[in-house]
């Protein structure tokens, strides 16, 4: 009996890990994605004191090529489908200077169709709103923010920035997509945004983390971060800005 119920147990485990958090999955401080149990979610990316994408989406499990499953302890895999919506997400309402008052309420109740894209809060072609399938991997463990890896320079111990800006942040959960949940570069329409994308390629980012590990809860090895401070490798963000 337990064996027959295992797929349902695994699906519930994945739902709990994917959805049951107040904080979203993040890549650094610029990008985040949030899933809800009701089949909805929110996707956002920003930079240079402005938002570049701020939309809701619908999502569901896909049973092909396989059911959600446990790969090994604390590692789960699933196939999902995500459909971006032209509706701007709730966290963006207060800063939505394009729409205020009655116009904002009308937008929330009757969002425009994808055929009217691009939008100020989603400057992408209408094709970006078509359903898209993803293979995802969810893990529990100890993970450094992928945004920290992206901006890391060689031998951080020798960099001139402050210690707090250079030290890595650690998290207890990681979400990895087989391809980025953000629309690919060719789907973006605004030239100024594409210029920014040359430096911050959201469409390439596939890893996200959450459940921050406080410094007090880190091991002494993690606190010292010797592998980080003396590492000669550099991230793509550092290389692009050099």
d(CA 89, CA 32): 12
Our separate counts of H helices and E strands in the chain read: 8, 9
Instruction: Flag residues of the chain having pLDDT under 70.
Output: 1-9, 48-49, 64-66, 91-98, 161-165, 192
Domain ranges of the chain: 2-241
| pLDDT tens-digit series, residues 39-93 | 999 999 987 667 788 899 999 999 765 677 777 888 999 999 999 999 988 766 6
pLDDT of residue 9: 66
DSSP code of residue 168: P
Preceding peptide of 118 cis, ω within 30°: yes
pLDDT of residue 174: 97
pLDDT of residue 164: 58
Per-residue tokens: 200: 């911050």
């Amino acid at each position: 009996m337990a064996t027959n119920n295992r797929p349902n147990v695994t699906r519930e485990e994945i739902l709990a890990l994917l959805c049951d958090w107040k904080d979203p999955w993040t890549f650094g401080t610029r990008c985040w994605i949030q899933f809800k149990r009701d089949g909805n979610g929110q996707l956002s990316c920003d930079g240079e004191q402005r938002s570049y994408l701020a939309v809701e989406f619908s999502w569901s499990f896909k049973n092909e090529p396989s059911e959600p499953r446990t790969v090994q302890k604390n590692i789960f895999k699933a196939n999902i489908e995500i459909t971006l919506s032209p509706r701007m997400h709730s966290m963006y309402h207060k800063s939505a200077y394009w729409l205020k008052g009655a116009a904002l309420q009308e937008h929330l109740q009757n969002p425009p169709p994808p055929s009217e894209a691009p939008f100020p809060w989603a400057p992408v072609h209408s094709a970006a709103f078509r359903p898209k399938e993803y293979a995802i991997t969810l893990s529990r463990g100890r993970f450094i923010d992928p945004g920290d890896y992206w901006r890391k320079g060689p031998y951080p111990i020798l960099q001139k920035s402050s210690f707090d800006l250079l030290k890595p942040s650690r998290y207890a959960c990681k979400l990895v997509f087989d391809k980025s949940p953000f629309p690919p570069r060719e789907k973006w329409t605004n030239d100024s945004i594409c210029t920014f994308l040359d430096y911050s390629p959201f469409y390439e980012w596939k890893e996200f983390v959450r459940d921050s590990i406080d410094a007090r809860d880190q091991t002494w090895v993690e606190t010292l971060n010797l592998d980080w401070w003396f590492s000669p490798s550099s991230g793509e963000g550092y290389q692009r800005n050099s």
